């Protein structure tokens, strides 16, 4: 398994998931985002969506999209369980992941791309500067909604640390670095953010993996 890797919250999400599982990539191949290497023919032949991360499997498959990659890793190595052991648990985790994606992650990242990140992204994708502030506000609405759900619990899926926590954490960490910080008045969410951030998988991008997947 080779991980095409870069800076940014999405590759970190996959590294974090792998670290939680103690998984090792055979090789990590850095791709230069600022130079636009990911938008050139060689990388596009692996991931036509032109973004990072991407996982190259031994059989010649290329897997992109963070959540699909994490689902694959869970299937390859069940323990520790981060999605679920029963159909109900898996569906519950996926429900929360989807909520994180459409309520917070997508508007927060597009708010960045269309706003502060405009000059970086304008020749890579359609950017809509007039939508930036609205998208950032949508993300904050999503965070306030999540705050209400988290009251009295420390994980996004009740009673289980899951992919939903891992999907959101690097995005909020990134958001805070680009002018979309977490409002400290959201106390449950702030406590959740600090708890997830204290895990080894979150603190160290260059974790030491413990086990290998073929």
Ligand X SMILES: N[C@@H](CCC(=O)N[C@@H](CS)C(=O)NCC(=O)O)C(=O)O
Q: Which residues bind ligand X (CB under 6 A)?
A: 6, 8-10, 33, 38-39, 50-52, 64-66, 124
Which residue's entry shows tokens 């999503």? 142
User: 37: which residues sit within 8 A by CB, 6+ positions away?
Assistant: 31, 43
State the nearest-atom distance from the C-beta of 186 to ligand X, in Å: 24
State the nearest-atom distance from the C-beta of 12 to ligand X, in Å: 8
State the nearest-atom distance from the C-beta of 134 to ligand X, in Å: 20
HEC string of 18-31? HHHHCEECCEEEEC
In the bound state with ligand X, the residue whose beta carbon lies nearer, of 69 and 186, is: 69
159 preceded by a cis bond (ω within 30 of 0): no
State the nearest-atom distance from the C-beta of 64 to ligand X, in Å: 6
In the bound state with ligand X, the residue whose beta carbon lies nearer, of 4 and 193, is: 4
Bridge-based pairing of strands 211-212 and 54-56 is unpaired
In the bound state with ligand X, the residue whose beta carbon lies nearer, of 18 and 186, is: 18
In the bound state with ligand X, the residue whose beta carbon lies nearer, of 40 and 85, is: 40
State the nearest-atom distance from the C-beta of 117 to ligand X, in Å: 9
In the bound state with ligand X, the residue whose beta carbon lies nearer, of 35 and 208, is: 35
Instruction: Give the integer Cα–Cα distance in Å for 33 and 112.
Output: 16
197 preceded by a cis bond (ω within 30 of 0): no
What's the chain's Rg over C-alpha atoms?
Answer: 17
Find the residue with minimal CB distance to ligand X.
8
**Quick one: angle between helices 163-177 and 187-197, nearest 10?**
100
């Amino acid at each position: 398994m080779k991980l095409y890797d870069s800076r940014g919250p999405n590759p970190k999400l996959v590294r974090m998931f792998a670290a939680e599982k103690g998984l090792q990539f055979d090789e990590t191949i850095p791709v230069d985002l600022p130079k636009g290497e990911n938008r050139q023919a060689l990388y596009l032949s692996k991931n036509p969506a032109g973004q990072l991360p991407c996982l190259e499997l031994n059989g010649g498959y290329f897997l992109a999209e963070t959540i699909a990659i994490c689902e694959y890793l869970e299937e390859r190595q069940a323990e520790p369980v981060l999605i679920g052991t029963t159909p109900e648990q898996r569906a519950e985790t996926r429900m929360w992941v989807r909520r994180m994606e459409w309520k917070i992650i997508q508007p927060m990242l597009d708010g960045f791309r269309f706003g502060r990140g405009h000059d970086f992204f304008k020749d890579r994708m359609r950017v809509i500067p007039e939508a930036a502030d609205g998208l950032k506000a949508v993300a904050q609405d999503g965070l306030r909604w999540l705050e209400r759900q988290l009251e009295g619990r420390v994980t996004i899926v009740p009673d289980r640390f899951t992919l939903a926590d891992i999907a959101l954490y690097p995005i909020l960490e990134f958001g805070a670095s680009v002018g979309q910080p977490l409002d400290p008045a959201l106390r449950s969410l702030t406590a959740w953010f600090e708890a997830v951030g204290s895990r080894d998988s979150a603190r160290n991008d260059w974790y030491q993996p413990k086990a290998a997947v073929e």
